[in-house]
Structure 1
Amino acid sequence: MEYIRIQSINDPLFTKMHQLMQTVFPPEEVLAFEKWEEPIQDPSIHVYVAVHEGEVVGATEYRYYPTMLVAMTDFTIIGRPSMGIGRFLMRNRERDIARLAEESGTEPIGMFAEIYNPITADYHFGGVTPMNPYVRREVLSHIGYRRLDFPYIHPSWEENGEAVSGLDLCFLSYDENRTELPSSLVTAFLTQYYSALPNKPDAWHDMIESIGQQETIRLEPF
């Protein structure tokens, strides 16, 4: 497999990746094709695909925030089972984030990710077995992700102002002894991350306000 960065919607690999996204994710999680044009050119947004024999069989998007010392995995897609795609994407992403941190002269404390709650997520993810939310949640737990202890929602990527639930905001701490995160870090991250979506629901603003009233947010196993 090859690990290839995509930086234009005119790249044929982008078309294949976007089709894969539409296959495995619900509509509210997928930004429309044409609306990718500007963000995919942003040098801080890293979109890579796993390519096998000319086909996109997996993909991941991530970014690193040197001022906050955290990374974010926007998504990870495993398009086929029994090919080691998940590990391939994870290892290449780890190496690239380490490079970005070194170039910025910083040392990251961990990585955020949104993880589907299999109890509330009524979706079949295109029937791709590795994308099953029970499977993904157990794998991410083994890696070291833990759930931030608050009811989480996010604005819909359909940009209709609706609140999307059924996910947890999680964090992979590089210090395994860390049991909580400063609430100021969580609110700063979410505010920055969702600045691309101006039409946010009131419930999202209420969530941010509620988080800000606490000093810390606990990291809980799942």
Structure 2
Amino acid sequence: MEYIRITSINDPLFRKMHNLMKEVFPPEEVLEFSLWKEPLEDPGIRVFVALHEEEVVGTTEYRYYEDWNVAMTDFTIIGREGLGIGRFLALHRLKDLNQLAAANGKELFGMFAEIYDPYQVLDYAFGGVKPMDPFVRREVLSHLGYKRTDLTYVHPSWNNDGEAVSGLDFCFMPGDDTVDELPADLIVNFLKRYYAVLPEKPQAWNDMIAKLEAQERVALLPL
């Protein structure tokens, strides 16, 4: 299996990757094909695929923020069972992020991720791929060290229609497992920058941000 970075919508592997995304994720979570041009060309956004026998069998997107020394996992897709794709992607992603943090003169503080909560929403099929089952994914990510932030989380729809998307937890995997809270302003600043690309913000998101701005710390709870 190969770990290959995608930097252009003209890369034939990107078409395969985008098709895989549409098979697995709900429509509101998938950015339209042409809108990927700028993100893929952005040096700060890292999109990789797992290539097995000329087929894209998995993919992950993430980014590293030098000023905060944190990463964000945008998504991870496992497209086939029995190939160890999840571990393959996780190991290569962490190796890459550790190298980026080292080049920044630091050890990676941790990584954010939005994680589906199947106890809130039961109808996520994820293309029928069993490793993508939200109950399985949640337990695997818990094993990796992710913890959920103590807030009721929503995010703006990637359709940029002003709708709020719920059914997820905003989570963080600290490099030091003893870390059990985060500065609220880190979360606020991160979310504002992360969703700056979507001008249509739902009121529920604005309310969430306002509540966070009134806090100093946010607890990290078991996932």
Q: TM-score, normalised by structure 1?
A: 0.98
Structure 2 Cα separation of the partners of residues 107 and 208 of structure 1: 28
- Cα offset for 1:13? 0.4
Query: In the alignment, residue 86 of structure 2 is paired with which amino acid?
Result: G
Structure 2 Cα separation of the partners of residues 106 and 199 of structure 1: 35
- Cα offset for 1:39? 1.0
3-state DSSP of counterpart to 1:111: strand
- Cα offset for 1:218? 0.4
Query: Which residue of structure 2 lines up, in the alignment, with residue 114 of structure 1?
Result: 114
Structure 2 Cα separation of the partners of residues 58 and 104 of structure 1: 28
- Cα offset for 1:108? 2.0
Contact 1:66 1:108 (C-alpha < 8 Å) held by counterparts? no
Query: Which residue of structure 1 lines up, in the alignment, with residue 24 of structure 2?
Result: 24
Contact 1:66 1:106 (C-alpha < 8 Å) held by counterparts? no
Structure 1 Cα separation of the partners of residues 50 and 157 of structure 2: 26
Is 1:10 matched up with 2:2?
Answer: no
Query: Which residue of structure 2 lines up, in the alignment, with residue 91 of structure 1?
Result: 91
Structure 2 Cα separation of the partners of residues 162 and 17 of structure 1: 26
Is 1:213 matched up with 2:196?
Answer: no
3-state DSSP of counterpart to 1:175: coil
Is 1:140 matched up with 2:141?
Answer: yes
Is 1:123 matched up with 2:124?
Answer: yes
Query: Which residue of structure 2 lines up, in the alignment, with residue 72 of structure 1?
Result: 72
3-state DSSP of counterpart to 1:51: strand
Query: Which residue of structure 1 lines up, in the alignment, with residue 152 of structure 2?
Result: 151
For structure 2, the residue ranges without an aligned partner over 5 or more in a row are none
- Cα offset for 1:105? 2.0
- Cα offset for 1:176? 1.1
Is 1:181 matched up with 2:182?
Answer: yes
3-state DSSP of counterpart to 2:58: strand
- Cα offset for 1:100? 1.0
- Cα offset for 1:143? 0.9
Task: Give the fraction of aligned pairs with identical amino acids, expressed as a percent.
Answer: 62
For structure 1, the residue ranges without an aligned partner over 5 or more in a row are none
- Cα offset for 1:183? 0.2
Structure 1 Cα separation of the partners of residues 37 and 66 of structure 2: 24
Structure 2 Cα separation of the partners of residues 106 and 142 of structure 1: 24
Query: In the alignment, residue 49 of structure 2 is paired with which amino acid?
Result: V
1:194-213 matched pairs, under 5 angstroms: 194-213=195-214
3-state DSSP of counterpart to 1:67: coil
Q: TM-score, normalised by structure 2?
A: 0.98
- Cα offset for 1:65? 0.4
Structure 2 Cα separation of the partners of residues 105 and 7 of structure 1: 26
Query: Which residue of structure 2 lines up, in the alignment, with residue 47 of structure 1?
Result: 47
Structure 2 Cα separation of the partners of residues 157 and 21 of structure 1: 14
What is the number of residues matched between the two proteins?
222
- Cα offset for 1:61? 0.3
Query: In the alignment, residue 149 of structure 1 is paired with which amino acid?
Result: D
Query: In the alignment, residue 71 of structure 1 is paired with which amino acid?
Result: A
3-state DSSP of counterpart to 1:38: helix
3-state DSSP of counterpart to 2:91: helix
Contact 1:48 1:59 (C-alpha < 8 Å) held by counterparts? yes
- Cα offset for 1:161? 1.1
- Cα offset for 1:106? 2.7
